[in-house]
Amino acid sequence: MENFYLEETSKTPKLSFDANSGKFMMSGRSIPENSIDFYRPLFEWLDTYVQAPPVSATTFDVQLEYFNTSSSKCLVEIFRRLEKIGNQSISVNWFYEEDDEDMQESGEDFKEIIDLNINLIMLEEED
């Protein structure tokens, strides 16, 4: 299975989904013009991946600075697809800056509505 990779732009996040290692990463800002169109190729890739993951454990690191409402809905869609793998086989690491209460609360909200092991990880400010 091919990996899925998109470079970060000022409005879209970096997406690095490595099927062979089971290491997924999303970072940056997610405020695309049309979130559904932007994330559709990833949804399709994930639909294939979850049918037969080539690894026993998948890790998804999410380190977003900001995302808009439509991106939030797409994140839910990503998490829903990952739920199909099974909670024991996937862990989500939700990173947030120490002073970013909005991103912390977003992680907590996802943790409540999504049936995945979501770890909230605070990144401490560097001096």
- Indicate the pLDDT class of residue 127, thresholds 50, 70 and 90: low
Assigned CATH for 4-123: 3.30.750.24
90-100 exposure pattern, b = at least 16 Cβ within 10 A, e = fewer = bbbbbbbeeeb
Average pLDDT over residues 60-89: 94
pTM: predicted TM-score of the whole model, two decimal places: 0.94
